[in-house]
Amino acid sequence: MITSIRYHPLIERDSNAHEYAPLFVTTDEAAVRRNHSFYLEEVVNGYFRLCATKTLTLPDSGTMTVACPVCSNRLENITAGKHTPTQALYRCRVCNK
Ligand SMILES: [Zn+2]
């Protein structure tokens, strides 16, 4: 079985609240990295790793909110070191009941 990792480019929806929302889903990581500053890498269904092409522009992940690409609910940061914004792992509590 062939599985491809899915990528969800993010846009900043509210810069004061550090709210990010996914735009679309693609399997083309190179194109995402060329055109977007932040994106989610869907490693397993419902689990997302935050990736950034410009790390310095990312806010503290403790203050960031990211919407679930599937249901739009707020993703939960399940990374132990919540002050490292890049490579933080998020899960959706609604999609992973
Ligand atoms: Zn969800």
Q: Would you list the DSSP string of 81-92?
A: -TT--TT-EEE-
Give Cα 11 distance to the centre of its chain.
10
The CA 6 to ligand 1 mean position distance, Å, reads 15
Identify the pLDDT of residue 52.
Answer: 83
User: Has this prediction a pTM greater than 0.85?
Assistant: no
The CA 93 to ligand 1 mean position distance, Å, reads 7
Q: What is the pLDDT of residues 52-75, one digit of tens each?
A: 886 555 666 567 889 999 999 999
Identify the pLDDT of residue 32.
Answer: 95
Q: What is the pLDDT of residues 12-52, one digit of tens each?
A: 888 787 899 999 999 999 999 999 988 999 988 889 998 88
The CA 74 to ligand 1 mean position distance, Å, reads 8
Identify the pLDDT of residue 10.
Answer: 93
φ, ψ of residue 25 in degrees (nearest 5)? -115, 140
Identify the pLDDT of residue 80.
Answer: 65
The CA 33 to ligand 1 mean position distance, Å, reads 24
Q: Which of 87, 84, 97, 83 is nearest to 48 (CA)?
A: 87
The CA 65 to ligand 1 mean position distance, Å, reads 13
The CA 91 to ligand 1 mean position distance, Å, reads 8
Identify the pLDDT of residue 87.
Answer: 72
